Amino acid sequence: MLPTANPEESPERDLTDASLREEREKADREMTANRVATEKNADAVVEHARENADAVLVAAREKADKTTDAAAPNDVQNAVAEDREVEDAKLRDERAAADMTVRRERDARAHLLTRLLPLERDATDQYLLTERAGSDDALATRDDFLGMVAHDLRDLLNGIVVSSQFLSQKLEKHSDREQLLLETTRIERYGARMNRLIGDLVDVASIDAGKLAMHTSQGDVALLVVEAVEALQITASARGVSLAVQNVQDHCLAEFDHDRMLQVLANLIANSIKFTPKGGSILVHCQRVGESIEFCVDDTGEGIPAAMIEAVFERFWQVGKSDRRGLGLGLYISRCIVEAHGGNIRAESSPGQGTRMLFTLPISAEQTP
């Protein structure tokens, strides 16, 4: 197994933390700059309004002065001057009170922002912790997956090496033919399994890149089902599981990539074989349902818990569990292939009651009424 990485010491986490700190500092700087700019704008608006008000007041006084008789008695002029001084004093008091009110409101807003900022920061930190936990889980899943791949490939390679060494020894001693055939069969089987592992990894990489190749042509789905069942018949028999074709509609045409759809059926059947105990049975059938062809793989195996029904079609769904009978890629790849054909895939199951895997393909245009 590959050594398990400690998320706390991950270079990826260090880069993420550095990026988060930089973003947070940038956000704080922008918030401060925006607040200062807002206050300056507010001050400018108030100052501009005061200047306009003063200009209007001065113009009104000048107009009043022109209309006032310069020859008016001194006591009248003095009274006017005193009234103006009183009005100016009131205006100054009102402005001072207004300024005080503005300062208090600004101080209150600043105090409120000071108290809200830690709360917002706490909420952000909690969100980041949740995101980080999800990222750590994804990294752990990736590491577990890579560990499983390395473990399985190493086991297969060891098997090939041991069988090769055995063959070398037996050839020197001119041993019996049956034992030699057994060892060569093992080498072929191990090589085929390694090829499937590598193929799954390549398919996942192609899916992630949006480049999963499809070469469709019209074909008979009945022949496809028979071919898939025949290919896995020996494997099922070796495990003591009955595998048969049932109720397959003849001459049912569809547009599909033959090798990819054979891969889907093989994945579903092989999965049923792995989880069906000795003495169990698997039935494969397909039929036309509306404008689609529905394929079905029924088994009498262990079944799937309700909470796992949707998860089985996600990648790595077995990683982290005690079950080591697969990498959790087959059903994910099958789902992507079916969806690329315009179909859909689903599972129906109950623990201890077996599992039914179903998927559909659009029917060929030539068969559409």
Report phi then psi at 236, rounded to 5: -65, -45
pLDDT at 6: 53
pLDDT at 293: 93
Give the whole-angstrom CA distance, residue 276 versus residue 335.
21
User: Residue 2: inside a domain, yes or no?
Assistant: no
Give me the helices (H) in the chain, please.
11-67, 74-173, 177-208, 221-238, 258-275, 330-340
Does one domain contain both 167 and 55?
no
CA angle (264, 358, 314) in 5-degree steps: 65
CB 198, CB 206: distance < 8 Å: no
Is beta strand 292-299 parallel, antiparallel or unpaired with respect to 345-349?
unpaired
Residue matched to tokens 């404008």: 291
Where among 93, 124, 140 does a domain terminate?
A: 140
Q: How confident is the model at residue 348 (pLDDT cuts 50, 70, 90)?
A: very high
pLDDT at 64: 64
Residue of 343 and 24 predicted with greater confidence? 343
Give the whole-angstrom CA distance, residue 77 versus residue 243.
119
pLDDT at 262: 94
Does one domain contain both 254 and 320?
yes
Q: Is the pLDDT confidence value at 325 over 70?
A: no
If you average pLDDT over residues 233-238, what whole number do you get?
93
Does one domain contain both 229 and 291?
yes
pLDDT at 247: 80
Residue of 182 and 218 predicted with greater confidence? 218
pLDDT at 69: 56
Does one domain contain both 81 and 165?
no
pLDDT at 306: 84
Please tell me the total count of domains within the chain: 3
Where among 187, 208, 229 does a domain terminate?
A: 208
Q: How confident is the model at residue 282 (pLDDT cuts 50, 70, 90)?
A: very high
Q: How many CA atoms does the CB half-sphere of 161 hold within 13 Å?
A: 6
Does one domain contain both 258 and 290?
yes
If you average pLDDT over residues 309-314, what whole number do you get?
85
Does one domain contain both 197 and 251?
no
Chain-wide mean pLDDT for the chain?
77
List CB contacts of 213: < 8 A, sequence separation 6 or more.
206
Q: Is the pLDDT confidence value at 345 over 90?
A: yes
Does one domain contain both 202 and 237?
no
What is the DSSP secondary-structure string of 129-165?
HHHHHHHHHHHHHHHHHHHHHHHHHHHHHHHHHHHHH
If you average pLDDT over residues 74-83, what whole number do you get?
70
pLDDT at 343: 95
Read off the pLDDT of residues 9-20 as tens digits, 9 standing for 90 and up.
556 666 666 776
Least confident span in 34-43, 122-131, 258-267, 338-347: 34-43
Report phi then psi at 46, rounded to 5: -65, -45
Does one domain contain both 221 and 163?
no
CB 253, CB 366: distance < 8 Å: yes
pLDDT at 76: 64
Residue of 73 and 297 predicted with greater confidence? 297
Q: Please give the single-letter amino acid code of residue 60.
A: A
Does one domain contain both 51 and 122?
yes
Domain that holds residue 240: 217-367
pLDDT at 250: 74
Structure tokens at 262: 């054979």
pLDDT at 272: 93
If you average pLDDT over residues 89-115, what whole number do you get?
73
Percent of the chain with pLDDT over 90: 26
Does one domain contain both 224 and 300?
yes
If you average pLDDT over residues 73-98, what whole number do you get?
72
Highest-pLDDT range among 81-95, 119-133, 348-362: 348-362
Q: How confident is the model at residue 107 (pLDDT cuts 50, 70, 90)?
A: confident
Highest-pLDDT range among 5-14, 72-81, 161-170: 161-170
Q: How confident is the model at residue 226 (pLDDT cuts 50, 70, 90)?
A: very high
pLDDT at 203: 82
Any idea what the CATH number is for the domain that residue 245 is in? 3.30.565.10
